Every structure is written in C-alpha cells, then in structure tokens.
Amino acid sequence: MLHTWRWFGPADPITLAEVRQTGATGIVTALHHLPNGAVWTVEEIRARQAEIEAAGLVWSVVESVPVHEDIKTGGPRAAEAVEHYQQSLRNLAACGLDVVCYNFMPVLDWTRTDLAYPMPDGALALRFDATALAAFDLFDLARPGAADDWTPEQTARAAGLWDTLDADARDRLRATVLAGLPGAEEHYDLDRFRAALATYDDVPADRLRGHLDDFLRAIVPVAEQVGVRMAIHPDDPPRPMFGLPRVVSTADDAQRVLDAAPSEANGLTMCVGSYGSRADNDVVAMTRRFADRIHFAHLRSVLLDDDGASFTEAPHLAGDADMVAVIDALLAEEDRRGAAIPMRPDHGHVLLDDASRVTNPGYSLYGRLRGLAELRGVELAVRRLRGA
C-alpha cells in the first residue's frame, strides 16, 4: 500500500518536515484556502505540489474537492458549481493528481460530541454519543421536528443529561458538534446552522440521491477522460442527523453509487471507521465485495456502544473492525491490479507530547504515528504470510 498522511496545508500545526519522519511518503491534502465551488487553477495546484515536494514528499491524494451545497440541494448555483468541479478535475489531472476523495454529506461533513474523551491508558479520543447529540438537537438547537426523530426513551436520557450540564459544558457541546472536519471551508454558529438546515427542508433522501446521481453522471465521464479516479467517502456518522438525509451509509448505498455511473473512475473510499460505525455494516465483507472499486482507504476503527449508535474512536488495531482482514483484502486487490492502493491512518488519539502541542481534533502527531506504524506492521506481516 501507499502510506500517506492527511495534512491540512500551511496552517496545519504538524509540519511537512515532521510528516517526513513518520514513515509516510505521500500527502493527502486539499486547497483549503479556496472557497467551495471555486475552480482549482493549475497555478494553485502546482504551488501546493512544489511546497510538498520541497519537503521530500509527494501529493498523492486530493481530499477533497468539496461539493458545493447547491449541487446537493439543487440550488441556483448547481450547474455552475458542477462546471467548476469538472474544470478542477481537468486541472488536477494536468498536474498528475489522479485520486480524488470527496463526500456528499449535507451541511456537516463530520460530527462528534467529544473531542477529548479520556481512555483507560490516559490517551484522549474522539467520541460520538447519541444521547449528547439528542440533548443538543432537542434543547440547544431546538430544531423544529426534532422531537419526532428521537424515541421517548432517548428524549428522557437527553433531558437528564442536559440538566447535568452547566453553561460551559453546554457551550463545549455546541462548539464540538458544530466544529466539523478540521480544514472545513464552512463554519457555523447556531443561527447559521439553522439557516443551513433550512435549505434541506425540501430535500428528502430520495431527492438527495437523485442529485448525487446527477453529479456522478456529470463528473465521472470527465474523470474517466482525464484519468482521475473518484473515491466517495461515506457519511460520518452513517445515519441521518438533524433531519438531514444521509445517502452513503451502507453497502447498498455504496452499490447504488457505483451503479449510477458505471466506470472504474467512479469508486469508493473505504473508511473503515465510518462504515464500521453501523453494526449492520460488515467492513471486511464490504472491502472484499468492492475491492476493485476502492481507490483509497482510511484505516481506523471504532468501538460501538451497546446502543448501536454511540461509539468511541479506538486504537487502530483495537476496535470492532478486523483490521488484519481488511488489509489482507486490500493487498489481494493490489496483487490483482498490480498497483498500490493509497491508505492513511485516521483519527489518532492524543498521546504523549500531543497533549502539550496544538493539534487538530483527530489529527494528532503521535497518535497517527502510532497508528501508521501498527498498520505498516500488519501489512508487512500479511504480505509475508501471503508469500509476497
């Protein structure tokens, strides 16, 4: 596999010089300073490439070219945004970049309720707690219709939790839920978040799926023409939230994406942690089933609570996922296609000196370094056992 590292550009507190020492050879990044829907010019792409190459690394995967919200809602800028996306793909291909990870999540592309959950060994992890999310949804956001999305039992637990939180704890929960992915181009307060949710009032799941189909039918032929492989990332967490539909959450969803635009250029990001956040997703079976269309892998694991909805980000080899079997399936596909699949460690714990330095939530230095080392060790062992 090609060992890569997520880097959020010049503002990332982890430097490329530090990344060089992790064992990664490839960088996964994006032009985060450009607004959603803008064309990525050749000049901007090459400038970022030059910065990465000057550090002795290679820009291997684009994560991501964001999909403008109007494409998802069918808004007034949808056609223009699609044209800009197509041109960005042409420009990326002209610069030698041929793997693009992207997602189709409405409004928020990443949701957690705790960014520093204490683990038994003293490390800090990301956590998603369904009760905490319900408390935010029902009593802070006070979303119209929220009461219909939670069972009486969930509402009672949420109310009990909300009553225990002081003003600072409520503010922290709000900030955490609205934080989104580090490097995200959109940032929200409560009022802006409510306004963003309102744009999806007339976009149920079937309509969002239709807009994804339209996007794929417009983008995939261009990607195929210029030699780019698109790799859609699953929803995180993989279930509806805040009344928003989610349409890339299950194996059936993934198959539907592939069927919408049949082409090797239309593929998947196998995010083990995201798909694994649903108990009904068998990530090993999914990796084997979709192996020939997996163009990128996020290797992380989660530990699900008994409620089947809450989860904690586990050490890379210690969660519910059988990471050894996932890696074995990816290596079998590499042997078949005669080419490496890029992978990266994802959502590392805060370990050791991570606690005394500034890091993006989930993107610590030592936590991901540990994860990458473990994953590389598994890869080497599996290759030896396979006789490779």
Which of the residues are catalytic?
Answer: 233, 271, 298, 346-347, 363
3-state secondary structure of 200: coil
Closest CA to 63 of 343, 349, 370, 368: 343
Q: Tokens 């600072």 appear where?
A: 168
Contact 53, 3 (CB under 8 A): no
**Length, in residues, of the chain:** 388
Contact 101, 109 (CB under 8 A): no
Helix 205-226 / helix 251-260 crossing angle, nearest 10 deg: 50
Helix or strand or coil: residue 267? strand
For residues 200 and 210, give the distance between their C-alpha atoms in angstroms, rounded to a whole number: 14
Closest CA to 366 of 180, 121, 177: 121
Strand pairing partners for 124? Answer: 118, 350
Sequence-distant (≥ 6) Cβ neighbours of residue 268 within 8 angstroms: 231, 232, 254, 257, 258, 290, 293, 294, 295, 296
Among 108, 342, 112, 358, which residue's Cα sits nearest to residue 243? 108
Cα three-residue angle 12-13-17, rounded to 5 degrees? 90
